[in-house]
């Protein structure tokens, strides 16, 4: 197999390949762009006009999607997969990967859409580099652009595999893309209602890609992901890579649960208190009138939305950042 098919091995070892560009026997081009960044170009005459960005390890300890990317790349490098779409494969935070930690100094996934310019350190520089790599990749006109940023969660979830669909003024969420996610085993989608600061928010709002953050189960160490079933997602990605994907019926969304953000819970100070058990699962339903959180100046978050659920509760975030999301179910339209 080509050496560039060992992107994960090289990244974990902190090594660069001797050859930055290699060709498979079929003429597929693999190009090492930077640490943890590899571009795949179809053989001449086979490009179908699709650009697919697959990212993982924005948090370094979320290993199941890293292993999925590795399987896809090894299949390409060995000739088992024959790409017809252009691909950019990104391992977001190599330093955190090597440590087996979520991040080194700060959460990269809170540093996009200009936030890295207000910060310093390795993660801020890496967020800037990831934006540059994505912008260069999606710079060709007239092509279909799709980005899946793949994660696993800190905690368990009532809905194990779900997606976050970013927001941009003037754009509408695509029923076809929602149906495509459903074929990949995604059981629920959170439709966001304001521009975010995550990687998928950047590619959606600034690069005009269809983009999603995918939450695919609970974070585990390398080699311990037997309980994370990514077979349906892998099947979809293989079909997208090889150009075998047929667009699903965007009207057929029965069974896909849709949610929207009702409120963000923002931690303002070190006095912030979140009134939830430390092991509470994502999508846990909260009763009306429940005192969810308190902070300085008598700030209180009381649940007044019927059917409200909590996702991403984390009282340990830095002041000024989101400590949780209250979401409510919505009907498909």
Each residue's pLDDT tens digit, 163-216: 999 999 999 999 999 999 999 999 999 999 889 999 999 999 999 999 999 999
Q: At 257, is the pLDDT very low, low, confident or very high (cuts 50, 70, 90)?
A: very high
H or E, element range at 258: strand 257-266
Polymer length of the chain: 333
Please give the average per-residue pLDDT across 288-312, as a whole number: 94
Task: State which CATH number among 3.50.50.60, 3.40.50.150, 2.60.40.1730, 2.40.50.630 fits the domain covering 262-330.
Answer: 2.40.50.630
Pairing of strands 21-23, 257-266: unpaired
Model pLDDT, residue 252: 65
In Å, how far from its chain's centre is CA 275? Answer: 28
pLDDT score for 78: 95
Q: What is the pTM of this model?
A: 0.93
- Mean pLDDT of the chain, nearest integer: 93
Residues of the chain with CATH 3.40.630.10: 3-242
Q: Which of 237, 163, 156, 154 is nearest to 198 (CA)?
A: 163
Task: Summarize the confidence of residues 84-100 as an average pLDDT.
Answer: 97
Chain segment 25-79, per-residue pLDDT in tens: 999 999 999 999 999 999 999 999 999 999 999 999 999 999 999 999 999 999 9
Query: What is the average pLDDT across 238-242?
Result: 97
pLDDT confidence bin for 114, thresholds 50/70/90? confident
pLDDT at 245: 75
What per-residue confidence (pLDDT) applies to 1? 66
Task: Supply the pLDDT for residue 253.
Answer: 76
pLDDT of residue 217: 83
Per-residue confidence band for 324, with pLDDT thresholds at 50, 70 and 90: very high
Residue 47: other Cβ atoms inside 10 A: 16
Architecture per CATH, domain 3-242, reads as 3-Layer(aba) Sandwich (3.40)
Share of the chain above pLDDT 70, in %: 96
Catalytic sites, residue numbers: 215
The pLDDT confidence band at residue 148, using thresholds 50, 70 and 90, is very high
pLDDT at position 225 is 73
Q: Where in the chain is the domain with CATH 2.40.50.630?
A: 262-330
Q: With 90 as the cut, is the pLDDT of residue 250 above it?
A: no
- Sequence-distant (6+) residues with CB within 8 A of 102 are 59, 60, 61, 62, 96, 154, 219
pLDDT of residue 294: 96
Distance CA 202, CA 206 (A): 6
Check whether 326 has a pLDDT greater than 70: yes
Which range in 140-149, 167-176, 224-233 is most confidently predicted, on average pLDDT?
140-149
pLDDT at 53: 98
């Amino acid at each position: 197999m080509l050496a560039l098919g060992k992107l994960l091995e090289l990244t974990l070892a902190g090594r660069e390949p001797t050859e930055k560009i290699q060709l498979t026997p079929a003429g597929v081009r693999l190009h090492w762009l930077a640490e943890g960044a590899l571009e795949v170009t179809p053989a001449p005459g086979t490009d179908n006009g699709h650009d697919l960005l697959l990212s993982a390890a924005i948090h370094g300890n979320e290993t199941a999607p890293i292993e999925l990317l590795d399987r896809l790349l090894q299949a390409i490098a060995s000739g088992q997969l024959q790409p017809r779409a252009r691909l950019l494969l990104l391992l977001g935070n190599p330093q955190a990967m090597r440590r087996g930690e979520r991040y080194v100094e700060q959460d990269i996934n809170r540093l996009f859409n200009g936030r890295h310019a207000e910060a310093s350190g390795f993660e801020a520089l890496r967020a800037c580099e990831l934006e540059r790599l994505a912008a260069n990749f999606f710079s060709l006109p007239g092509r279909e652009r799709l980005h899946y940023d793949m994660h696993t969660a800190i905690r368990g979830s009532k809905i194990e595999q779900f997606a976050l669909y970013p927001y941009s003024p003037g754009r509408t969420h695509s029923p076809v893309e929602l149906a495509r996610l459903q074929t990949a085993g995604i059981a629920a989608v959170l439709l966001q209602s304001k521009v975010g600061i995550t990687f998928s928010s950047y590619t959606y709002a600034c690069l005009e890609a269809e983009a999603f953050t995918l939450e695919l189960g609970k974070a585990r160490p390398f080699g311990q992901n037997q309980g994370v079933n990514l077979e349906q997602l892998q099947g979809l990605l293989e079909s997208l890579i090889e150009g075998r994907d047929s667009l699903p019926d965007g009207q057929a969304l029965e069974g896909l649960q849709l949610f929207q953000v009702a409120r963000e819970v923002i931690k303002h100070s070190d006095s912030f208190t979140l009134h939830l058990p430390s092991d509470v699962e994502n999508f846990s339903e909260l009763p009306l009138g429940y005192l969810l959180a308190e902070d300085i100046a008598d700030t209180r978050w009381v649940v007044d939305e019927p059917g409200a659920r909590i996702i991403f509760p984390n009282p340990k975030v830095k002041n000024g950042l989101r400590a949780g999301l209250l979401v409510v179910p919505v009907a498909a339209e």
